[in-house]
Amino acid sequence: MFGFKKRLMNVKILNFEPLTDNDNTIKRKKDLLTEIKKRINLEKVKKDCEGNLFSLRVIYYLNKNTTNEGKYQKDLDNMTKIVSDTLTDYLINQDKQNKEKTGLGLIRDDKDIHELHLVKKFVDEDSEQGLDITLYRWDEKPQLTKNF
């Protein structure tokens, strides 16, 4: 069982292709940031997140019905780098050096994520592609069941 405690944010984004952290990374982060901002009360979530460590759960929905392998054969870690960087104050290190906050500002730094739960699910159409992002306050004492 994961150390999920209090849910701080839950956002579902469909008709959006989850992308990896490679070419055009800044654009990919900005596109995700825009989609998240459309779906949350940013100031409220920022306040709820303040001073916490985090557990992050992301479910990626990838289209399996395509001849383009790049649409469904993606590494979880490369997709998650886009998500975790978008949640921070700064999308890229240069922004941090310039003290120009360009990210969502929900977490100070991705090192404050102490737990990850990542899932890939396959869907049948591009319109079903997307991701579910849930950010929790991290509980350093998760309850384990006896059958674990």
For the chain, what is the mean pLDDT? 88
Give the pLDDT confidence score for residue 5 in this predicted structure.
78
Q: Model confidence over 87-131: pLDDT tens digits?
A: 998 887 777 777 778 899 999 988 999 999 999 999 999 999 999
Given a cut of 90, whether residue 70 has pLDDT beyond it is: no
Give the pLDDT confidence score for residue 67 in this predicted structure.
77
Please give the C-alpha separations between residue 32 and each of 63, 129, 140, in angstroms, as whole numbers: 18, 13, 29
Query: Is 61:14 a contact under the CB 8 Å cutoff?
Result: yes
Given a cut of 70, whether residue 146 has pLDDT beyond it is: no
Specify the CATH number for 4-138; select among 3.40.50.460, 3.30.1330.70, 3.20.20.140, 3.50.50.60: 3.30.1330.70
96 C-beta neighbours (distance < 10 Å), count: 16
Q: What is the mean pLDDT of residues 41-59?
A: 96
In angstroms, rounded to a whole number, what is the distance separating the alpha carbons of residues 114 and 136? 10
Given a cut of 50, whether residue 1 has pLDDT beyond it is: no
Q: Where are the domains of the chain?
A: 4-138
Q: Percent of the chain at pLDDT above 90? A: 65
Given a cut of 70, whether residue 10 has pLDDT beyond it is: yes
Q: Percent of the chain at pLDDT above 70? A: 87
